[in-house]
Structure 1
């Protein structure tokens, strides 16, 4: 059980009176202190689907003890490290993260793209680090705790949890002084008996897309699970789960580009009936009332909603999913595939937390050298390496 200092009282989660104190802390905006280490780590109280829970502050997981459920691996082991301090700036007083995005939330006649990180061929881009469309999806997944897993949760993670945790994470992020939640739409779990109310809330949220504007038109970010890419006269109609009857239009050139750029994600999705295909996109509205996709990126996730980027990762995540100890899936963010990352971390491994690395078949000398540097830079972590060309996956650490 976690121990907290809550308004001057030390309590464990299961203690009598804990929920009452939690309710008071939520109302008064009092920050609980996690007592997993010294000094204690500030946290906050969140309302997740009408249930009050204590969550870690954005980008604070490294301050917790590795044995604490709120611990997260060092940022330099994933693609998050290069974004810290530049694309992502944390305000500890407000408890919010300010983001610099590599894509636009307004439109002046731009053509739909399938990757938010590709610049036009006849331009030179400033080297300032910004977050790509896929990077934003990874960051929301990371901050939502959806990269964490233990066998105790089997059968207990559904779209209801994904929706609420993503929504809560977005509430603590801002872009150019505007709350990200105001420009983000995530379809709520659909219920037939609440169909009219759900559609009304959706129409109200997306209404900004169809407002008449003299300058650039506003775009919104939509995150949802792909149900199908239905054929259209000149392109595709993208169908999102939990949005029955709602269609998003993707032009044919963008559809062809999407198939090339995200071939691996599409194949991972199609290879098993239990996987999910997540999409993040910027969307706009036409005068005719049609919702169009401006940019789009895809992410394949397992049955447990854990992100995967290759069949090798899928094997590793499936193996980790059977462990009763916690594992944390690493994410690439903006990092190209030619760079190594810790594909997963076992924070409860003994005697030290263990980083798990996969060396793919096409890894070159630069990949191997960078991996060696990553391992040498973290003597506080054990290392587990699966060199795919050398055979089957090695046994996992104890």
Structure 2
């Protein structure tokens, strides 16, 4: 049971009139206060589908009690810690103000970047700006899609992923503009609603084709790849829930994508139940087609939890069968040679941070891991050195 202060009254989420009170508060733009701590922590109400839902304010999860469902592990356990205060700040309205390492516009006279070196997402490990991959991780994180318990089995589908990603984009801004206006996340496609869905999509993409002087706006597409198929002069990317919509990559770009995201592609191809997510900046071309500019990939499990190795997949196969909550860690823009917590189990008397040491990890990796562990004596630690040991038990 959780308790909130709502419109001056304390109410439990198990109260019979909780849903109706929440809907009324949503219409009145009231802000609930989570009472897991004293003083309470401000939250907000979002509509997920047609259901009013209490959500934590951006980047406030660490302020909640560890037993609270809104709790998040310390940011320094993941790649988020290096970005806070630099690439990501909270603005006066409580939104996450972002500094991006990629452009949301292009000059009209520029050559389409799909043919050149800039068509792939750049990772510069610069904590002052957020890469395209880092933005995808942030959307996943703020959307609550890194959290899982076995009680949710069979209950997380694309319509929920879509709703949570859109809501997460509402809590972010770039140069004072809400990010949600620049993000296209395909809504679940239903044949009976085909005409209405395509009209909404056309309206969303219309700014890409406006004939205006100066820089042309770009949008950010976040979706699931359905298929990658060769075409006459490159590769065609087919996105689920976007029938008739295609992204084209020229041969050079496709070869670079295979090199840069070899791990993600291999994980997707090796597991039938994995999903391959794409984030790309897209623009309209004079021919009326949509062109990909920068692009990044992320592999997620059947439960939509991000993974970057077969070892993380094996770990999650065990964790996702547990009824206790798992919070999946994310790398964001950390280099692969730097450790981070693959997952955290927050509901234990002492939250447990789980680390995976990859094969061939050098002394610098081990030294950084040691520093991370010693910096958080409040956390229990589980370490799997994959080239030395079998996976250790994860006892309750």
TM exceeding 0.5? yes
Give unpaired runs (5+ residues) of structure 2: none
Q: Which residue of 2 aligns with 1:387?
A: 385
Instruction: Pick closer, same or farther for the CA change 1:335–1:33 going to 2, 3 Å.
Output: same
Residue 280 of structure 1: how far off its partner (Å): 0.1
**Secondary structure, aligned partner of 1:386:** strand
Count of matched residue positions in the alignment of Structure 1 and Structure 2: 390
**Secondary structure, aligned partner of 2:248:** strand
Deviation per CA, 1:304-323: give whole Å up to 9, x if none: 00000000000011110011
CA distance in 1, matches of 2:231, 2:211: 27
CA distance in 2, matches of 1:61, 1:194: 37
Residue 144 of structure 1: how far off its partner (Å): 0.3
CA distance in 2, matches of 1:374, 1:218: 41
Question: Contact (CA 8 Å) 2:123, 2:333: kept in 1 or not?
Answer: no
Question: Contact (CA 8 Å) 1:83, 1:131: kept in 2 or not?
Answer: yes
Residue 77 of structure 1: how far off its partner (Å): 0.3
Pair 1:309 & 2:308 matched: yes
**Secondary structure, aligned partner of 1:20:** helix
Deviation per CA, 1:214-263: give whole Å up to 9, x if none: 21211110000001112122111110000111111112211110000000
CA distance in 1, matches of 2:105, 2:48: 30
Q: Which residue of 2 aligns with 1:47?
A: 47
Q: Which residue of 1 aligns with 2:214?
A: 215
Q: Which residue of 1 aligns with 2:99?
A: 100
Q: Which residue of 1 aligns with 2:72?
A: 72
CA distance in 2, matches of 1:184, 1:32: 27
Q: Which residue of 1 aligns with 2:363?
A: 365
Residue 114 of structure 1: how far off its partner (Å): 5.2
CA distance in 1, matches of 2:338, 2:79: 9
Deviation per CA, 1:313-358: give whole Å up to 9, x if none: 00011110011000100000010100000000000122x0010000
Residue 74 of structure 1: how far off its partner (Å): 0.4
CA distance in 2, matches of 1:312, 1:18: 42
CA distance in 1, matches of 2:395, 2:367: 23
Q: Which residue of 1 aligns with 2:394?
A: 396
Q: Which residue of 2 aligns with 1:263?
A: 262
Q: Which residue of 2 aligns with 1:122?
A: none
> Which range moved further: 377-386 or 248-257?
248-257
Q: Which residue of 2 aligns with 1:249?
A: 248
Question: Contact (CA 8 Å) 2:139, 2:169: kept in 1 or not?
Answer: yes
Question: Contact (CA 8 Å) 1:220, 1:284: kept in 2 or not?
Answer: yes
**Secondary structure, aligned partner of 2:249:** strand
Residue 22 of structure 1: how far off its partner (Å): 1.1
Residue 376 of structure 1: how far off its partner (Å): 0.3
**Secondary structure, aligned partner of 2:244:** coil
| TM-score w.r.t. length of structure 1 | 0.96
CA distance in 2, matches of 1:147, 1:370: 24
Residue 20 of structure 1: how far off its partner (Å): 2.6
Q: Which residue of 1 aligns with 2:6?
A: 6
After the TM superposition, list the runs of 4 or more consecutive aligned residues in structure 1 that deviate by more than 4 angstroms. none
Deviation per CA, 1:24-48: give whole Å up to 9, x if none: 2212211111111111111111111
> Which range moved further: 188-197 or 28-37?
28-37
| TM-score w.r.t. length of structure 2 | 0.96
Residue 95 of structure 1: how far off its partner (Å): 2.3
CA distance in 2, matches of 1:230, 1:193: 27
Q: Which residue of 2 aligns with 1:375?
A: 373
Give unpaired runs (5+ residues) of structure 1: 120-124
Structural RMSD (CA): 1.3
Q: Which residue of 2 aligns with 1:29?
A: 29
Question: Contact (CA 8 Å) 1:115, 1:133: kept in 2 or not?
Answer: no
Residue 76 of structure 1: how far off its partner (Å): 0.3
CA distance in 1, matches of 2:122, 2:307: 20
